[in-house]
Structure 1
Amino acid sequence: MNKMGPLMLATMISVPTPAFRAVKITTSKWPRSLGAFLAALLLAYSASAQNQNIEFTKDQFNGDKEGLKTALKEIKLGNEWYDTDPPRYEQALPHYLAAQQFNPNNALLNFRIGACYLGSGGLKAKSLPYLQKAQQLNPQVDERLHYLLGRALHLNAKWTEAIAEYKAAQPPAGLKDANARQNDINKKIAECQSGMALQKNAARVFIDNVGPNVNSSAADYGPVITADESVMLFTSRRQGGVGDDKDPETGGYFEDIWQSVRNADGTWQQARNLGTNVNTKGHDAVVALAPDGQRLITYVEDGAGDLHEASLKGAEWKKPQQLGRRINGGQSHEPSAAYTPNGRMLYFVSNGSPKSNRGGHDIWRIDIEGRGDAENLGPVINTPFNEDGIFVHPDGKTIYFSSEGHNSMGGYDIFKSEWKNGQWTKPENLGWPINTPDDDVFFVLSASGRHGYYSSTREEDGLGSRDIYQITFLGPEKPPVLSGEDQLLASRAAPLRETLLAPPVAIASAQVTILKGTVTDADSKQPIEATIDLVDNSLAQTIASFTSNAQSGRYLVSLPSGTNYGIVVRKEGYLFHSENFDLPQGAAYSEVVKDIPLKKLDVGAKVVLNNIFFDFDKATLRKESTAELQRLVQLMTTEYPSLRIEISGHTDNVGKAEYNKDLSQRRAKAVVDYLTGKGVAAARLTSAGYGDTQPVATNNTKEGRQLNRRTEFKVLSK
C-alpha cells in the first residue's frame, strides 16, 4: 500500500473545525482493510480531541464568528455573577450552560458549571459530569478540582471514589488555613464511610411525592402537619404569593406559607395561600405547627432572623407576633422550633451565646409560659457542628432533628433521640434512603409513626427544584420460615420444601392516643369555641389547656401514654363535660373520635362525672378523683353560688339489685360529704343511689356495663 501523507489523508476525510462537532467518513471506494484502518484511526483521533481543552478563540472557531461572540458574551455575564462576593452561582449557571452548548470541551467552563451546580440549592448532584470532564480536559484547571470532584462524587453516593478524590485534595503545606481544610477533608471522608455503612443496611420505607396539588414547579419545602395528618402547612417559592414579586438577591419568588388539607383517601387537596395576615411581601416561612393545628410559628428575617407565633381564630390566622427576647436574641439566629404536645414547652434552634453553645446552632428548650431562661439540650444532642430542624413527636418523649455532626453521611442528616431515665438516648441516624449525602432537614412525623414528611430533591419524580415527599415506614422485614411439613408439588418427581413467610411483623407503634372531634351546643348543634383542660388525675393538676376552633368546633388533643388523663370541656353558661383516658405506660397508638355536646346550665340538665373513681366494691374515693371534685367545688362556690344539685350513683346489673342500690347510694353520699367538707352548704346538695335502674347503655357488653357504672350530677335549681 502506498504511503499517504497528512495532506492526502485530510482530503479523504472531511473534518470541520477543531471543535469536532461532526465527522464525515467516506470509505465505500477503499479496500476493506484500508477503510477499517482509517475509520479506527479517525475514531481514535476524535476521542483524543474530545479530551483536549479547546479555548474560546478565533483560531478554534473561524467558521462561526457570531456563535463565538455570543458564547463569549454569556461567559462574561456568568463571570460577573460568579466573581461576586459571595458568588451568585444560580445566576451564573444559565449563562455558563449557554456557552457550553457552543463549546462543550473547555476545562475552565466545565469546572465553573460544576462549581455552580454544587453551590445551587437543589441541583448539586448534577455537578459530577462537568467536573469529571474538566478533569479529563485539564487536571490542573483549578487547585480546588480534587476537592470539588470529591464533593460531587460524595453527593452521588460514590463513596469510594469520593474518598480517593478527598485524599488527593490535601492542602499545600504552609497555607494559613491548612489545618481547617484538612479537618474538613477528614470529616468528609468520615461521612463517606458512614454513608457506606448506612447504605448497606437501608431503611424499609416507601418515599413518594405527595403530588401536584401540593408541589409546584418552584421550590416547596419545610412541611409541618397536625398530629393526625389532616392539615399540612409548608413554605413555597411559587408564583401567585401575596407579593408575587421576585427577590432581587436570588432571582426567585419570595417565600410564602401555603396550606393543604388531606382527603379521606390520603390524597391532598389543592394548596392555598395562607393569606395576608401571615404572609407579607417579603419572605415568610413556616417552621412549626401545634399538634391541634391552632397555633403556628413562622420565621421572619427581621435582623438576624427571629421566630414569630400566630393563632387560628375560626378560619382566620391572626398576625404573627414575635416570641420575645427569651427566645429571640438580639443578634442571634433562630431558624427552627417545635411545640411539645401540651403546648407549654418550646424546643428551638439558636446560635445564641457562644459561652453556652456546643457549636454554631444548638437545640434549646424553654417553658414558653414561664419566666426562666432557655436550657441547652447538652452534648448528647448538640455537637460542635450545626443542628437544625427540631421536631417533637406527639408522644412527648421523642425528638427528631437534623445535624451536621454525629454519624452524618453528608451535610445535615435526620436523627432520632428519646428521653429515657432522665436523659436523652444517643441520636440514631434514620438511615438510607431517608438521609442522603446532601442536606436533609425539617422532617416531621405523624402521631401514628406511620408517615413522615420532608422535602427532597429527586430528579426521577420531582416536579420542581425541591418537592415535599411522604415517607411510609414499613417496619422490620418479615423473615422467611420453613413450614412444618413437606409441601408436595405434583409436577415434581421429588418432594420439595416450600418456603413460607412468617406472620407479619408489627411496625413499632407510637405510644400516644389522639383524641379529636367537635364541640357543639347540645340543643342547636352549632359549633362552640370551648376551653379543653387536660388534667393529670394522679397529680390533680391541669397540665395543658386548648381551645376548640371557633368556626368548626374542632379540637385535637395528643395524649402520650403513661398517664391517667381527665379531659374537661368548659364554656361559660354551660355545664362542663368530662372524659377519662387512663393510658398505661407503653399503650400503643390509637385515634379516638369523640364529639362533645355541651349542655346549657338549665334545670334538669345532667352531667356524668367521668373522673370520679372509687376503690373496688367500696364507697371510698380514690385520690385520682381530686381534680374532678375540686371542679365541682369551684362550680358550686365561685361560678354558681346559688346552684342546687343532686349527686347520683349508678351501677351495672351484675350482682343483686339491693346491694347495687346500697353501693350507689353510699358512693353518692361520699361525693356530697366531700363537697360539704369544702364549704358547700348541705342544703344545696342531695344524694341518691339508683343502682342499675337507670342504664345509659346495654348491660350485655363489657363496654356498656362500664358506661352504666357512673356518678352524675343533675341541676335542681339555679
Structure 2
Amino acid sequence: MPSLNRLLILLLLAAALPVAAQSTAFTKDNFGDNKEGLREALRELKTGDEEYRADPPRYAQALPHFLAAQTFNPNNAALNVKIGDCYLNSATKTAALPYLRKAAKLDVTADARTHYLLARALHLSAKWTEAIGEYQQAKPVGNNTRNGDAQSFTANDLQRRMLECRNGQKLMARPARVFIDNAGPELNSSASDYGPVVSADESTILITSRRAGSTGGKKDPEGNGFFEDIYQATWRGKAWSAAANLGAPVNTDDHNATVGLAPDGQRMLVYAGTNGGDLLEATLGGATWDKPRRLNSRINTNSHETSASYSPDGRLLYFVSDRDGGAGGSDIYKVDLAGKNTPVNLGPVINTAYGEEGVFMQPDGKTMFFSSEGHNSMGGYDIFKSVYENGKWSEPENLGWPINTPDDDVFFVTSASGRHGYYSSDRPGGLGAKDIYRITFLGPEKQPVLNEEDQLLASRLAPVKQAVLAPAVAVATAQVTILKGTVTDDATHQPLDAAIDLIDNTSGQTIANFRSNATSGRYLVSLPSGTNYGIVVRQDSYLFHSENFDLPAGAAFAEVVKDIPLKRLEIGTTIVLRNIFFDTGKATLRPESTAELERLQKLLTETPALKLEMAGHTDDVGDAAMNQDLSQRRAQAVVAYLTQHGVAAARLTAAGYGETKPEAPNTTKANRQLNRRTEFKVTAK
C-alpha cells in the first residue's frame, strides 16, 4: 500500500510539472481543419527559403515571408532560427534575440550553429555572461552546411568572440561620461542615415542617407532602402536645419556617400562604389559643390579604398585601404597629397590583423579617431583614439561604453573643440534603422558639494542637508584655435574670394594655403597649438592683410572670430604688419619677422611707383620720450632691411609716433599688445 501511495504521489507531481516546449512542424496533423492557413504559411515559407538560400542570401527579402509564416505557427524552431539569422544580418540586429531564445527552448538538442547565432544575439544585446555560455556550447564547426552555403566558426573565432564579451564587461563597468542624443528629425529619417562629417566649427554637417527622394530614385536590390545620397545641414544655434539633398553633380544615379570634410568645409571627400571602391574630392565653388574628381592612383587602386580624412593643413590625407601588404583586412595609410611618395602604412600600433575603418584626424593635427575590429573591441568595430607625439602613435584607447556597443561603431568625427562627437548607431527609440547621434563629452566626474541651505521636504518634519552634484557641462579637450570670419572689400563690404596663407614664423615656411568662399567670403583656419603663426590674406588689386597667433604648446581650445576687410591700394591707406617682431625694448628685428618683411619687399618690387611711410608705435608703459625714440628706431630698422634688399631709399620714409596714436585704450594687456605695432601708409602709387 505505501508503494502504491508513493506511485500516486509521483504521478501527481509529474502532472504538475510544466511540459517542455516542443517544436511544431508545418504539417496538417498539427493544424486540423485550417488547411488554407497551412497552405498560405507553406507558400510564405517556400518564398522565404528561396531568398534565404540565394547566393549570397537575400535576408531582407526573406524576412517578411518568414514573419508571415511565423504568425501562423510561432512554435517552429527552424523558422525562429531563420528569422533570427535574418535580423542578425539587418540594421536591427538586436531584434534577433527573442526568436533565437525561443528556437533554443523549442529544440533542446539545438545544433552548434543555433547556439552560435543565439550567442551572437546575446552578445549584440550586451548580455555578456549569457553570450559566453552559448559560445562555449557552439563547438567549432569547420564546414557546417546551411542551405547549400558553407558556414564555419573555428575555435579561434569562438575564443575571439568570448574575449570581446570580456572586454565588454570591463568597459561597461567603467562607462564613459557622455550624453548621447539623437540628432533629431532634421537629420534623421525612417531610413538609414549615417556617415556624418562636420566642419571644425560645427556649423556644417553632411550625412549619407538611404531615404526616399534620392537623385536616381533607385532602390538597393538587397533591400537596404534607396541608393545612397549625400545631404547637408547647417547649425541654427539650437538645432540643425533640415538636411537637404545636394543633388547633381555630387549625387548621381549610383551610390554617393560622405567620407570626409576639410576643417574649413570647403572640400569634401566622397566614396564611389566603382572600381572596387574609390575616393573622390569635391570643392565648394561659392554656394554649390563642384563635380567630384577622382583622387590619383597613389590613393585609388584596384583594391577597396573606403574612408579618408584631411590633416588640418590639408596637405596630408589619412585613408583606409585593403591593398596588398597590409597587416589585416583594411589598414590606415597616410600620403602627402602634393608629393609623389608612396602612401605609408601607419604600422602595428594602429593597424591589426583585423579590419580598421572610419579614420578621422581631429583639427589639432595629432589626435586620430578610427574604428577597429582588433585591439580591445567589445564586438564588431569599436571607435578608438590615438595621439601622435614624439614621433609615434600612442596605444589606441577604446572610447568605451556607451559610445561603443557590441555592434559596428564606425565613422566617428568630432568638432575642433572636442566637446561634441557625431556618429551613426542603431539604438532603441531611433527614427530609422540607423540614425545620426550627437555625443557630448562631460570630462572627469565632479565631486558632490554639500548644499548648506536647508531643503524642506514635504515628508519630513525636520530640515535636511542634501549633497548635490555639480551640473554636467561639455568639456573642450582639443589643443587648437579656430580662426574664422569673413573677408570683404573695406569700402563696399562685398565678400571676397581671397587667398589665405598660413606661415610658420619660426621657419618662415608657408605650411598651408586656403581660400575664403567665393560667394560668402567666409573662411576658417585650424591652428594646432605649438606654433607661432603668421596669417596673410591677399587678393589682386588689394593690399595684403596680416594677423599673428603665437600659440604655445598645450594652449587650450579657443575660437576666434576675425572679420578681415581688405583695402585697395590707395594713397593714405594704412596697413598694420602684425608679423614684425622686435626684441623687448629694442629695435632689433627678430628672425620671425622675415616672412612679413619679404612680403613687403615683394609688394614694393611688383609696384615700382609705390612709396611708403613706415611707422612705429608703442603702448604708454614707460617714459613717453623713450617710447618716441624706440618707435622711430624700429621704423628705421624696417626701412634699413628693405633698402638692404634692393628697395630704393627714396621710396621709403620712417616715422616714430611713440604712444600718441593708440589703436585701443592702454587699459589691458591685450590692448597694449595692439598698440605696440609696426604699420605702413601709402604715400604715392
Using the size of structure 2 for normalisation, the TM-score is: 0.94
Match of 1:686 in 2: 653
Match of 2:72 in 1: 102
Q: Pairwise mapping of residues 583-594 of structure 1 onto structure 2 (< 5 A)? A: 583-594=551-562
Match of 1:398 in 2: 367
Distance in structure 1 (CA, Å) of the matches to 2:471 and 2:181:
26
Q: Pairwise mapping of residues 298-313 of structure 1 onto structure 2 (< 5 A)? A: 298-313=270-285
Match of 1:512 in 2: 480
CA contact (8 A) 1:91 1:251 kept: no
Q: Pairwise mapping of residues 171-182 of structure 1 onto structure 2 (< 5 A)? A: 171=140, 181-182=154-155
Distance in structure 1 (CA, Å) of the matches to 2:205 and 2:349:
31
**Partner residue of 1:348 out of 312, 316, 319:** 319
Give the gaps of 5 or more residues in structure 2: 1-10
CA contact (8 A) 2:482 2:527 kept: yes
Distance in structure 1 (CA, Å) of the matches to 2:196 and 2:471:
35
Distance in structure 1 (CA, Å) of the matches to 2:365 and 2:673:
29
The offset of 1:701, in angstroms, is: 2.8
Distance in structure 2 (CA, Å) of the matches to 1:414 and 1:307:
22
Q: Pairwise mapping of residues 566-715 of structure 1 onto structure 2 (< 5 A)? A: 566-637=534-605, 639-715=606-682
Instruction: Assess, with a 3 A threshold, how the Cα gap between structure 1 residues 322 and 494 changes in structure 2: closer, same or farther.
Output: closer
CA contact (8 A) 1:477 1:505 kept: no
Instruction: Assess, with a 3 A threshold, how the Cα gap between structure 1 residues 151 and 503 changes in structure 2: closer, same or farther.
Output: closer
Distance in structure 2 (CA, Å) of the matches to 1:259 and 1:656:
58
CA contact (8 A) 1:67 1:102 kept: yes
CA contact (8 A) 2:167 2:376 kept: yes
Distance in structure 2 (CA, Å) of the matches to 1:661 and 1:624:
24
Stretches (4+) displaced over 6 A: 173-180, 485-498, 502-506
Distance in structure 1 (CA, Å) of the matches to 2:435 and 2:216:
22
CA contact (8 A) 1:385 1:404 kept: yes
CA contact (8 A) 2:193 2:435 kept: yes
Match of 1:156 in 2: 125
Deviations 1:312-368 (A, max 9, x none): 010111100110110011x21011000110000000000112x3x111100000001
Using the size of structure 1 for normalisation, the TM-score is: 0.89
Match of 1:221 in 2: 194
Distance in structure 2 (CA, Å) of the matches to 1:672 and 1:333:
58
The offset of 1:579, in angstroms, is: 0.5
1:236 and 2:203 aligned: no
CA contact (8 A) 1:219 1:238 kept: yes
CA contact (8 A) 2:441 2:474 kept: no
The offset of 1:173, in angstroms, is: 8.2
Q: Pairwise mapping of residues 29-40 of structure 1 onto structure 2 (< 5 A)? A: none
Deviations 1:111-148 (A, max 9, x none): 0000111111x211111111111111113455411111
Instruction: Assess, with a 3 A threshold, how the Cα gap between structure 1 residues 613 and 492 changes in structure 2: closer, same or farther.
Output: same
Instruction: Assess, with a 3 A threshold, how the Cα gap between structure 1 residues 489 and 439 changes in structure 2: closer, same or farther.
Output: closer
Instruction: Assess, with a 3 A threshold, how the Cα gap between structure 1 residues 191 and 482 changes in structure 2: closer, same or farther.
Output: same
Distance in structure 2 (CA, Å) of the matches to 1:616 and 1:174:
78
CA contact (8 A) 1:171 1:178 kept: no
CA contact (8 A) 1:360 1:384 kept: yes
AA of the residue aligned to 2:488: T
CA contact (8 A) 2:171 2:400 kept: yes
**Partner residue of 2:503 out of 531, 535, 540:** 535
Q: Name the larger-Rg structure.
A: 1
Distance in structure 2 (CA, Å) of the matches to 1:503 and 1:313:
43
SS in 1 for 2:276: coil
AA of the residue aligned to 2:64: P
The offset of 1:566, in angstroms, is: 0.7
Match of 1:432 in 2: 401
Distance in structure 2 (CA, Å) of the matches to 1:65 and 1:252:
36
Match of 2:517 in 1: 549
Distance in structure 1 (CA, Å) of the matches to 2:39 and 2:143:
42
SS in 1 for 2:282: strand
AA of the residue aligned to 2:107: N
Instruction: Assess, with a 3 A threshold, how the Cα gap between structure 1 residues 502 and 519 changes in structure 2: closer, same or farther.
Output: closer
Distance in structure 1 (CA, Å) of the matches to 2:598 and 2:46:
78
Bigger CA drift: 566-575 or 681-690?
Answer: 681-690
Give the gaps of 5 or more residues in structure 1: 1-36
Distance in structure 2 (CA, Å) of the matches to 1:315 and 1:541:
32
Bigger CA drift: 507-516 or 333-342?
Answer: 507-516
1:378 and 2:347 aligned: yes
Distance in structure 2 (CA, Å) of the matches to 1:56 and 1:488:
66
Distance in structure 2 (CA, Å) of the matches to 1:399 and 1:575:
38
Deviations 1:619-640 (A, max 9, x none): 0001111111111111112x32
Percent of residue pairs bearing the same amino acid type: 63
Distance in structure 1 (CA, Å) of the matches to 2:155 and 2:24:
33
Instruction: Assess, with a 3 A threshold, how the Cα gap between structure 1 residues 257 and 500 changes in structure 2: closer, same or farther.
Output: closer
Note the aligned Cα RMSD (angstroms): 2.6
Deviations 1:618-669 (A, max 9, x none): 00001111111111111112x3233211111011222222211111110011
Bigger CA drift: 248-257 or 427-436?
Answer: 248-257
Deviations 1:432-457 (A, max 9, x none): 00000000000001111111000000
AA of the residue aligned to 2:211: R
The offset of 1:486, in angstroms, is: 13
Instruction: Assess, with a 3 A threshold, how the Cα gap between structure 1 residues 175 and 286 changes in structure 2: closer, same or farther.
Output: closer
